[in-house]
Amino acid sequence: QVQTVESGGGLVQPGGSLRLSCAASGIIFSAHAMGWYRQAPGKERELVATITSGASTYYIDSVKGRFTISRDNAKNTVYLQMNSLKPEDTAVYYCKPIRNYPTYWGQGTQVTVSS
């Protein structure tokens, strides 16, 4: 049974940075591609970035060049470094394996970008 604990969110001014962390358990972490997702108020949840077991990465266009996804298999943790944050990045951010757990969502971490 997969479980994830997301952390690192907060309130930040436009142009600022945050680093999100996601500790996963209940799975063979190193074998899973992981993804960060977000849900903004009044909008559907969307995929933001993914990282494969081999550390290949993917980003949606709106975060390319600003966000970096990484993983530490020894710590069963995936990270999302977010730079040059914009108000439209405001959302609850979630992580989970990108396959096999379609209905699972953790508690997420709130990111608010506002002056």
Grade residue 63 by pLDDT with cuts at 50, 70 and 90. Answer: very high
The pLDDT value given to residue 93: 98
Provide CB contacts within 8 A for 73, sequence distance 6+.
29, 30
User: What is the mean pLDDT of the segment spanning 90-95?
Assistant: 98
Grade residue 114 by pLDDT with cuts at 50, 70 and 90. Answer: very high
The pLDDT value given to residue 79: 98
The pLDDT value given to residue 18: 98
Rounded Cα–Cα distance for residues 56 and 92 (Å): 24
Grade residue 7 by pLDDT with cuts at 50, 70 and 90. Answer: very high
Neighbours of 32 (CB within 10 A): 23
Which two structure tokens, joined as six digits, stand for 34? Answer: 């992981």
